[in-house]
Structure 1
Amino acid sequence: MIEVLIVEDDWRVSEINRRFIEKIEGYQIVGIANNGEEAKEFLEVMKPQLVLLDIYLPDMKGIELVWYIRRFFKKTDIIMITAAGEIETVQESIRGGVFDYLVKPIRFDRFKRSMENYREHLNTLSMYKKLDQKQLDQILWRKEEMNKTSYEPVLPKGIDPITLEKVVQIVGQYKENGLTAESVGVKMGASRTTARRYLEYLVSIHRLKADLLYGSIGRPERRYYPVDHS
């Protein structure tokens, strides 16, 4: 679970953010801070992985808290959620390493996409000890032209190219017996639902094949195998 701290002085906005988070798989709220000092206390005790941060707080600017987090909690990431869209604020947020910047009022689909992108980002980083230039470009820039692979000109929403290649590699190691979505999920550090999404996409573009294995007990299980293109 990705632990999230909400830092927002408007209780109505923080409640909306809380409800949004609870609708998205893989996230857990560990606290809601109404000002900067409360946020610092939560950071010290809970050490959340992600902070949803407003720019305007009663006792300090959100940007000040960005640099405080960068100094003392280097493993904590930040997504800005604010009504402020001024270019100077955006620029300083980017310099502070903010992962994303959401402007109020926020639509749930945009909020969800940001959370999914962040989760995919963490999954991708956890899979590799070393990255080549193409992989780094995909992580750092996430531009559409850098997300093109040999599968399709543009990948569907929710499909990360680096993770996709990792799934191909995992299944390729089990040519004889294949793997279930649950097994692939364990090996890639993701849920069975996420693994199945990638596996079914690879089947649809003929990079993998699927078959039903009928056992003596229980329902048949769907197993995935690499496709021999030789």
Structure 2
Amino acid sequence: MLDIVIAEDDFRVADLHEKFLKEVEGVKVAAKVLNAEDALKAVAEHTPDLLLLDVYMPDRLGTELLPELRKLQPSLDIIMITAANEKYMVSQALNYGVVDYIIKPITMERFLTTIEKYKEKKRILNSQETFDQQLVDQLIGKETEKPESPSVPKGIDQLTLKKVRKLLINKADEGITAEEASHHLGASKTTARRYLEYLISVHEGVAEMRYGKVGRPERKYFFQK
């Protein structure tokens, strides 16, 4: 479970971000604060994995907190969500290694995409002791050549796709649900379903509605080659 602190001076926007996060598996809001001073206190108290930080707050600019936050918790990841679009603001944030910089108004799709990418990054970091170039490129968001499948769409990673394909092959007889696949992959149910549906779109998988133990139908995926 990833702990997240929301630092946003507008409580309505903070509530909206919290609502968005409820759509994401494996994360929880540890605290919501309305000013910079409380943001520092919340990070010190909760030691979260991620801070969603606004720039314009009543007591201090969020960008002014970045050096202090780095000293307070060096491993803290930060995503700026702000109306600040000035060059020096963006540059300062990037120089302190923020994970992402999102300019308001923010859409739910953009927000969830960012959080899912962040979760995947944390999963990779927590599951590996050594890294090859492909994994490092994936962590820093660098596009790598994918010669075996140049038509793979944006959002589909070759390494994860291979894992999902192998999982379908291993479960050829009984099939697998998106929820079961998410447990095997260590990813969200949404991510697992995206890869499973992609394999259907390229005719490497099929899906059927099957009745589960509780009597309700569930979508099961099977490998097809």
Instruction: Calculate the TM-score normalised by the size of structure 2.
Output: 0.79
Q: Which amino acid aligns with 1:95?
A: N
Letter in 1 for 2:176: T
Q: Give the secondary-structure state (helix, strand or coil) at the position aligned to 1:180.
A: coil
Seq. identity, %: 35
TM-score computed with the length of structure 1 as normaliser: 0.77
Letter in structure 2 aligned against 1:155: P
Cα distance between partner residues in 1 of 2:164 and 2:196: 7
Deviation at 1:10, TM superposition (A): 2.4
CA distance in 1 between partners of 2:65 and 2:35 (Å): 10
For structure 2, list consecutive stretches of 5 or more residues without a partner in the other structure: none
What value does the CA root-mean-square deviation take over the aligned residues? 3.2
Give, as a single letter, the amino acid of the residue that structure 2 aligns with 1:81: I
CA contact (8 A) 2:181 2:189 kept: yes
The farther-off stretch of 160-169 and 99-108 is 160-169
One-letter amino acid of the counterpart of residue 161, structure 1: Q
CA displacement, residues 129-182 of structure 1 (integer Å, 9 cap, x when unaligned): 322213322321344xx374633434244x33332233335456x377575234
Q: Is the 8 A contact 1:214 1:220 kept in 2?
A: yes
Secondary structure of the equivalent of 2:124? Answer: helix
TM-aligned CA distance change 1:151 to 1:7, over 3 Å: same
Deviation for aligned residue 1:5? 0.8
Match for 1:64: what amino acid? E
Tell me, yes or no, if structure 1 residue 161 matches structure 2 residue 173. Answer: no
Query: What are the equivalent positions in structure 2 for 1:64-213 lying under 5 Å apart?
Result: 64-143=64-143, 146=144, 148=146, 150-157=148-155, 159-171=156-168, 174=170, 180-181=176-177, 182-206=179-203, 208-210=204-206
Distance in 1, matches of 2:126 and 2:160, equals 10
Whether the aligned pair in 1 keeps the contact of 2:171 and 2:222 (CA below 8 Å) is no
**Which structure 2 residues correspond to residues 10-29 of structure 1 after superposition, within 5 A?**
10-29=10-29
Q: Aligned AA for 1:58?
A: P
- For 2:168 and 2:131, how far apart are their aligned partners in 1? 20
TM-superposed CA distance for 1:214, in Å, is 8.4
Number of aligned pairs? 222
Query: How far apart are the structure 2 equivalents of 1:35 and 1:169?
Result: 48
The answer to whether the 8 A contact 2:165-2:223 is kept is no
In structure 2, C-alpha distance between the alignment counterparts of 1:24 and 1:169, rounded to whole Å: 25
Higher relative contact order (CA 8 A, sep 6+): 2
Instruction: Give me the whole-angstrom Cα distance separating, in 1, the residues matched to 2:149 and 2:192.
Output: 17
- Contact kept? 2:200, 2:207, Cα under 8 Å: no
Taking the aligned partners of 2:210 and 2:91, their CA distance within structure 1 comes to 57
